[in-house]
Amino acid sequence: MIVGIDLGTTNSLVAVWKDGGPRLVPNALGSFLTPSCVGVDDDGQILIGEAARERLQTHPQRTASLFKRHMGSMRTSRLADRDYRPEELSALVLRSLKADAEAFLGEAVTEAVITVPAYFSDAQRKATRVAGELAGLKVERLLNEPTAAALAYGLHDGGTETQFLVFDLGGGTFDVSILEMFDGVMEVRASACDNMLGGEDFANLLVEQAFANGIPDKARNDAVFMQRLVARAESAKRDIGANGSASFDVRWENSEANVALDAEAFEKLSQPLMDRLWRPIERALRDARIRAADLNNVVLAGGATRMPMIRALATRMFGRFPVIGLNPDEVVALGAAVQAGLKMKDKALEETVMTDVCPYTLGTGVIKRLDNGSHAEGFYAPIIQRNTVVPVSRVQRFFPVSAEQKAIRIDVYQGESRLVRDNIKLGELDVQVQPGPGHADGVDVRFTYDVNGLLEVEVMVVATGIVQRLVIESGETHMSPEEIAKRLATLSALKIHPRDTLENRALLARAERLYEQLLGDMREHVGQMILHFEQTLTTQDTQRIARDAEAFRKALASIETDGYFAPDPGA
């Protein structure tokens, strides 16, 4: 059985293809969303998901989140007494999802389709694949997130002939894809993205209001204060959407600030961000050679499209109401499950074919001869143009600049800029060329980009026919098979909280967080409840534990909704 996994920055989900359709898998807490958080408990056991998320504020030194942003880099997170690579933290989340799927299906799960942001570079994709391996999953396919969303929608809409645009505004990125569907063939025509624009930027506007209204800049260095301020801003952002306005107070040391905005003021503040939504849309339409008026549908995905002003903007942009048939948090995972169904050649999907594109341009750096006869380096020579259908293989010939040159350097870049310094460098290769006959024939550089978005570069010296391959993973972020095996052994030795105790751990973590936020009697009351529940847990009487857990949960929920909180996040 192949499962489909949306390995997200904030939340992850797993779905399976079952009984002719994609089905989401609940985790041990009964939720489809597992927070992408990993923590180390006081007794050294690993906590994954909700329990870890609850501990972000209370145990920042022992909890990690947002590690997807560091995939493909060397940046590690220190948890308790050990450094974890982003691949390892992602692997722990994947392992937890794998266990959920196994409990749901009643069989072992060893293969997965994992989604990645379309803009993910080669290194980030390889890191995702390693994370899968570390979790004991063979990664059958890396699938672009907007393509997954489109796949879920395409199927949902019954496969009529149509051209549609997927407008996917997530936490940190804005992805646009244009798809065409006919006779069960789903074709991504173009993808474009702004990977510096997402729901978090809208919440940040509210964070900045607190600094504009009286909190001094030096409070930015107080990590605990910032965590809480961001959480306040995040919930205010949602309140503005739901209720039309929001207000909250913050205090840091002796400074206080109030942030109060209604929907209109928030929209005005957000205007520069909203304006940026146009660019990827225009680029995708242009690359797909489709006019906005010819689109049959606009589909919303990504949590941030829940903001009413974003929905209104999308309606104005396209002159029609967008389709919101599926839950924006869930569409990517559902699409991954459809891809898993395709991989398993399920009968219900026999007629469906999916094609994707390479969302960015790939090329190499070249030296140019200037008009005055001198040379200048650092220019970009595209080899695979963005939005070419994958898999694709393209070759281009390059020549030595001078007759004495003994080597040609092939630098590999991803990006759209004219100068290579503004693009992302993926790797490099030096190719020996012998001065003498045939020297001027140069080298053929072949780029091959597969359906997973992984690139292979091959260089052939034309005169000799000698071929050299560039192993892009030679970069410092690459993990060798030996290192993967070593990390796998260490990860397997970690003690992970058993699945059936996770719910109670999450409950305790939530109570600990409340304890820190409350003051006085209420705080004492929560402290007593924690102690009581810990004692209940030691009885190992499952019925009693379940009964007490339910009462504990209700009590915590009522404290949360009654808002008995200390009035400021700095208290």
Our CB check for ligand AMP shows the closer of 86 and 146 to be 146
Amino acid sitting at position 261: L
Question: Which residues is 5 bridged to in the sheet?
Answer: 14, 114
Q: Which tokens go with 259?
A: 């942030």
Q: How far is the CB of 332 from ligand AMP (least distance, A)?
A: 8
Q: How far is the CB of 148 from ligand AMP (least distance, A)?
A: 12
Instruction: Give the C-alpha distances (Å, rounded to integers) separating 156 from 184, 299, 305, 345, 398.
Output: 12, 12, 19, 18, 47
Distance spanning both ends of the chain, measured CA to CA: 50
Q: Is 175 in the site for ligand AMP (CB under 6 A)?
A: no
Q: Is 329 in the site for ligand AMP (CB under 6 A)?
A: yes
Strands 443-449 and 455-461: antiparallel
The one-character DSSP state at 323 is: B
Is 456 among the catalytic positions?
A: no
> Which position among 306, 439, 510, 513 is part of the footprint of ligand AMP (CB under 6 A)?
306
Our CB check for ligand AMP shows the closer of 336 and 545 to be 336
Is 6 among the catalytic positions?
A: yes
| Part in contact with ligand AMP (CB under 6 A); list of ranges 52-60, 304-312, 355-363, 550-558 | 304-312
Q: What is the rounded distance in angstroms from the CA atom of residue 45 to the CA atom of residue 39?
A: 8
Our CB check for ligand AMP shows the closer of 171 and 322 to be 171
SS (H, E, C) 355-424: ECEECCCEEEEEEEECCCCCEEEEEEEEEECCCEECCEEEEEEECCCCCCCCEEEEEEEECCCCEHHHCE
Residue 81 DSSP SS3: coil
Our CB check for ligand AMP shows the closer of 208 and 444 to be 208
Our CB check for ligand AMP shows the closer of 28 and 332 to be 332
Catalytic site residue from 6, 54, 201, 329: 6
> Which position among 56, 304, 313, 508 is part of the footprint of ligand AMP (CB under 6 A)?
304
Q: How far is the CB of 143 from ligand AMP (least distance, A)?
A: 16
Q: Which of 119, 140, 122 is nearest to 5 (CA)?
A: 140
> Which position among 171, 400, 415, 453 is part of the footprint of ligand AMP (CB under 6 A)?
171
**Residues in 424-453 at the binding interface with ligand AMP, rule: CB under 6 A:** none
| Part in contact with ligand AMP (CB under 6 A); list of ranges 194-202, 267-275, 392-400, 559-567 | 194-202
Residues 196-215, mask of contacts with ligand AMP (x by CB under 6 A): --xxx--x------------
Question: Which secondary structure element, helix H or strand E, spans residue 438, and what is its range?
Answer: none
Residue 11 DSSP SS3: strand
Q: Is 300 in the site for ligand AMP (CB under 6 A)?
A: no
> Which position among 3, 10, 56, 153 is part of the footprint of ligand AMP (CB under 6 A)?
10
> Which position among 143, 281, 307, 506 is part of the footprint of ligand AMP (CB under 6 A)?
307
For CA atoms 217, 223, 228, 231, give the dihedral sign.
positive
Our CB check for ligand AMP shows the closer of 207 and 472 to be 207
**Residues in 231-260 at the binding interface with ligand AMP, rule: CB under 6 A:** 234, 237-238, 241
Our CB check for ligand AMP shows the closer of 442 and 569 to be 569
Catalytic site residue from 87, 168, 200, 548: 168
Using the CB atoms, write b or e for 253-271: b if 16+ within 10 Å: eebbbebebebeebbeebe
Q: What angle do CA 332, 202, 232 make, to 5 degrees?
A: 100
Q: What angle do CA 470, 136, 95 make, to 5 degrees?
A: 120
Question: Which residues is 29 bridged to in the sheet?
Answer: none
Strand order in the sheet with 353-355: 297-301, 162-169, 174-182, 185-194, 353-355
| Part in contact with ligand AMP (CB under 6 A); list of ranges 299-307, 369-377, 379-387, 547-555 | 299-307
Our CB check for ligand AMP shows the closer of 167 and 413 to be 167
Q: How far is the CB of 399 from ligand AMP (least distance, A)?
A: 46
Q: How far is the CB of 79 from ligand AMP (least distance, A)?
A: 23
Residues constituting the chain: 571
Q: Which of 8, 13, 5 is nearest to 338 (CA)?
A: 5
φ, ψ dihedrals at 344, nearest 5°: -85, 5
> Which position among 302, 322, 442, 569 is part of the footprint of ligand AMP (CB under 6 A)?
302
Is 145 among the catalytic positions?
A: yes
Q: What is the rounded distance in angstroms from the CA atom of residue 505 to the CA atom of residue 521?
A: 24
Our CB check for ligand AMP shows the closer of 27 and 504 to be 27
Q: How far is the CB of 11 from ligand AMP (least distance, A)?
A: 6
Count the residues of the shown chain that bind ligand AMP, applying the rule CB under 6 A. 19
Is 138 among the catalytic positions?
A: no
Catalytic site residue from 88, 145, 287, 411: 145
Catalytic site residue from 54, 68, 267, 287: 68
Query: Which residue ranges make up the site for ligand AMP (CB under 6 A)?
Result: 8, 10-11, 170-171, 198-200, 203, 234, 237-238, 241, 302-304, 306-307, 329
Catalytic residues: 6, 68, 145, 168
